[in-house]
Structure 1
Amino acid sequence: MKKRIAIISIIMLVLMLAACNSSNNNSTDDEIPKMLEVNLQVQEKADVNAEVPFTATVTQGDEKVKDADKVEFEVWEEGKKDDSEMIEAINKKDGTYEAKKTFDHDGVFTVQVHVTARGLHTMPKTSVTVGEGATEEHAHDNHEDGDHDDHGNHEHGHHSEDFSMHFMEPDSIEKGKETEFVVHLQDHNEPLEHARVRYEIWNDEISDKHEWVDASETKPGEYAGSHDFSESGVYKFKIHVQNDEGLHEHEEYEVVVK
């Protein structure tokens, strides 16, 4: 009889442990944050000098995100990414974020929204054709610029029009203090994972030496690396991105060290 009770007790203990493990696993699954989803709405065509509304609806799972940390719309004319304009969005407190812009000439413009919320970042984009769109002369200029880029910024690399990079420049950088640099990468409106990201840092007025920092992927599409500047000044900061699919991109910035 005692033997039978002991066996039953062991079986009950095993079942309790199994139930506990199952509960823990479910708890872990629940803690995994869901990705941000952004529905970017911009009309496909617009008249010159007409006000064009931009709307981004941000959700996480079934919940509307009403408390995004930062939402900005970046706008640039086709072939002129370096001259892009950043427009801060207005939070409507219902999960939507809005802005407006008036275009003063014909052209094709890209509108990209940068959303940072709940420790996540996403940046989908679309385009709007204003007036007659790109003129033949402008299209020719863009083609020449594209050829130049293939031998310049994208030398020896594969340029993807669907690739996006957003550098989160620190508010302040002080010499002698470790500073973390974060960049968000996307390809085809999805986080670019498993890329090789390196920061190239130099200041020709201080030294001809270029320093390299390997960035690590901290979240899907988010890469972080840190650097300690020994001298104040204006530094060149180039972000290099590669992956096994042949992507090779780099963008250059300037950072000020106080």
Structure 2
Amino acid sequence: MRRKIWIFLFVLMLMLLAACSDNHSDETKEETEELAELKVDFALPESAEVDEEVELKAIVTYGDEKVKDADEMEFEYWKQGNEDDSTTVEAQNNEDGTYTAKVSFEEDAVYEIYAHTTARDLHTMPKKSIEVGNAIADEHDAHDEHGDHEHENADGLHMHFMEPEEVKTDEEVDLITHLQMDDEPIEKADVQYDISKKDESDNQETAEAEETKAGEYKATHTFSEAGSYTIQIHVEDDDGVKEQEEYKIEVK
């Protein structure tokens, strides 16, 4: 009888040790995941000729791991100073942690490009620029004639509103904005969407956004009438960031 009790106690001790080991392993895994960071190494030539095919390439990593299954990887580009008229292309997943796309540019200009990446419940969007054709000479002439040309915000803030593709009345639509500071997501910010119909600014609706991923702020809204609307995005955080931008959308 005593021998059976000792065997029972020994087995119970092994089970407890195994449980403690599993808990420790889970805690270590969680700590490792918390420390891991989603990074995108965005490779882009400094210059290109008009209509020349250019390869855009992003190498995506999460800690020491190459991300071969990103939820989203696309490039968005526009002529400098004209972000409202941008073009988005989906990248090809090469299944080795690299994502590529080929594009060409139609005008002599500086083009700016985001590498939008979503993986491991995180979003990042590093931005680079490329000089196409005689962009340098054109910029120099503009500088001589008009003084300093427009620069990126001095504080390094990037605010990117994901404009809905099609908005219809009486259908719930997601309003999503990504915030970054020097290529790092801005977390725990207060983001608010002020929505008003054209020429009816006194009749304004407000939607408070929630942070769904690091640096991603989402609110939902239903438009009751068709027409042109203005969406003003207000951003504040505890580090002194205070910014607002305005966008136009059409509701059908």
Q: Show the counterpart of 2:194.
A: 200
Matches within 5 A, 1:103-182: 103-105=106-108, 107-132=109-134, 133=136, 134-139=138-143, 140-141=145-146, 143=148, 159-160=153-154, 162-182=156-176
Q: Secondary structure at the match of 2:107?
A: coil
* Aligned residues: CA RMSD: 3.6
- Contact residue 239 and residue 250 of structure 1 kept, 8 A: yes
1:233–1:78 distance in 2 versus 1, CA, 3 Å: closer
Contact 1:194 1:243 in 2 (8 A): yes
- Any residues of structure 2 matched to 1:20-59 within 5 Å, and which? 21-23=23-25, 25-26=27-28, 28-29=30-31, 34-59=36-61
Q: Which amino acid in the other structure matches residue 236 of structure 1?
A: T
Q: Note closer, same or farther for the CA distance 1:174–1:79 as it changes in structure 2 (3 Å cut).
A: closer
- Distance 1:203-1:44 versus aligned 2 partners, 3 A rule: same
Amino acid at match of 1:52: V
Give secondary structure in 1 for the equivalent of 2:84.
Answer: helix
Deviation at 1:55, TM superposition (A): 1.0
Indicate conservation of the 8 Å contact 1:91/1:98, yes or no.
Answer: no
Cα displacement (A) at 1:202: 0.6
Gaps of 5+ in 2: none
Q: Secondary structure at the match of 1:82?
A: coil
Distance 1:172 1:112, change over 3 A: closer
Q: Take 1:171 and 1:130, find their aligned partners in 2: how far apart are those partners? A: 28
Secondary structure of residue in 2 paired with 1:197: strand
Given that 1:92 and 1:98 are in contact with CA atoms closer than 8 Å, whether structure 2 keeps it comes out as no
Query: 1:160 and 1:90, CA in 2 relative to 1: closer, same or farther beyond 3 A?
Result: same
Corresponding position of 1:154: none
1:79 counterpart letter in structure 2: G
- Which residue identity is paired with 1:143? D
The residue type equivalent to 2:117 in the other structure is V
Q: Which residue of 2 aligns with 1:78?
A: 80
CA distance in 2, matches of 1:175, 1:213: 17
TM-score, length-normalised on structure 1? 0.73
Q: Secondary structure at the match of 1:57?
A: strand
Tell me if structure 1 keeps the 8 A contact 2:74–2:90. Answer: yes
Query: 1: distance between equivalents of 2:83 and 2:167?
Result: 26
The residue aligned with 1:152 is: none
1:102 aligns with 2:105: yes
What SS is found at the alignment partner of 1:81?
coil
Matched with 1:233 is: 227
> TM-score, normalising length from structure 2?
0.75
Structure 1 equivalent of residue 246 of structure 2: 252
* 1:111-154 deviations in Å (ceiling 9; x for gaps): 221123454321101222334514323235473657xx9xxxxx
